[in-house]
A and B are shown apart, each in its own frame.
Chain A
Amino acid sequence: MGSGNILWSLAKNYFTVGLIGLTISDRYASVVPVRGTSMSPTFNPQTSTFWGSSIDDCVLVEKFCLEKYKFSHGDVVVFSSPSNHKERLIKRIIGLPGDWIGTPHSHDVVKVPEGHCWVEGDNSLSSMDSISFGPDLLESVYAALHISWFVLM
């Protein structure tokens, strides 16, 4: 009887902490690991170290920007990929709605449509970004919606 009570109160505590943690990570801030080298040297500056694999950078992302959807040039954002909604990408915003972007590969000039933005990785050699899938949807940016602020480690 006693152990049942202890288990029940433990379960209630875990549930409460889980709810509060989920709310905070949805509304205010959360921590996201950065995989891949498409944003080096900003994140994950080296591909591999002497002893095999390097530790991924972890970043703190804030969600206050999602209230008004106001982003500016140069912001690093985390968003879900338009071709696979389960995959999250992290890139830098280069163009906001109404900007004209010159694509180096096709010698074309593209105007970023309303509600969209153009993102590019800092390491243009190995980066899947707006160059490959057109003006990235601002709303997909908003679907995952985070702006990274600090590198934690």
Chain B
Amino acid sequence: MRAAKYIWQWRSIAKQAFTQTSIVAKFLCLLHVTNNYLCSSTLVYGPSMLPTLNISGDVLLVEHISHRLGKLGPGDVVLVRSPVDPRKIVTKRIVGMEGDRITFLLDPSSNDSCNIIVVPKGHVWIQGDNMYASSDSRHFGPVPYGLIQGKVFMRVWPPHSFGSLEQ
């Protein structure tokens, strides 16, 4: 008689635990889908996008819809997986899409030599706004479109520069 009561209590506890776990699991799935397919936030830091982004760190809102629909164009600030180290994600601006002819300065701090390149099919040319301290397509070449992770549309931190990225 006692054993039956214990078994019944144990089953109700297990059932409650299962319900709570499934709620948490569903919430995590929703979080994953939102972060990967809708909108997410990132902390970015570094000097390569001065003066647009601060060197010490900004929190940006990134949307993941435009690059899947193919609606990116020159001038967009995007998050891109780095071609030299796939574990890093870098923030740069798209300067040219496929087929565009790009003229760029190789090393602006030392000389004025520039190169001209045509962006191959399926690739984009990305450059940091701060061309003196940015390692971008001028160093590792055009980047395949599939490496783009998302487009930045808003900055939320620091609070005095809350809003879109345009000056």
Which A residues have a C-beta under 8 Å from some C-beta of B? Answer: 16, 19-20, 22-23, 26-27, 68-69, 80-85, 113-116, 137-140, 142-144
Contact = CB atoms under 8 A, between A and B. Distances in A.
Given A23-B33, A27-B32, A84-B121, A143 B147 contact: yes
Contacts of A139: 81-83, 86, 144, 147
Contacts of B144: 80, 82-83, 85, 137, 139-140, 143
A138 B86 CA distance: 7
Contacts of B17: none
B32 A143 contact: no
Contact of B120 (A20, A83, A140, A143): A83
Contacts, number: 68
Given A115-B86, A139-B83, A20 B122 contact: no
Interface of B: 25-26, 28-30, 32-33, 36, 81-87, 120-123, 144-147
Contact of A22 (B33, B122, B123): B33
B33 A19 contact: yes
B48 to A, nearest CB: 18
Contacts of A144: 146
**B25, B29, B82 pick with most chain A CB within 10 angstroms:** B29
A138 B84 CA distance: 9
Contacts of A26: 32, 36
Given A19-B26, A23-B32, A142 B86 contact: yes
Contacts of A137: 83, 144, 147
**A19, A26, A81 pick with most chain B CB within 10 angstroms:** A19
Nearest to A18: B33
Nearest 9 CB-CB pairs, A to B? A85-B146, A83-B122, A143-B146, A80-B146, A23-B29, A115-B84, A85-B145, A82-B144, A142-B86
B110 to A, nearest CB: 24
Contacts of B25: 20
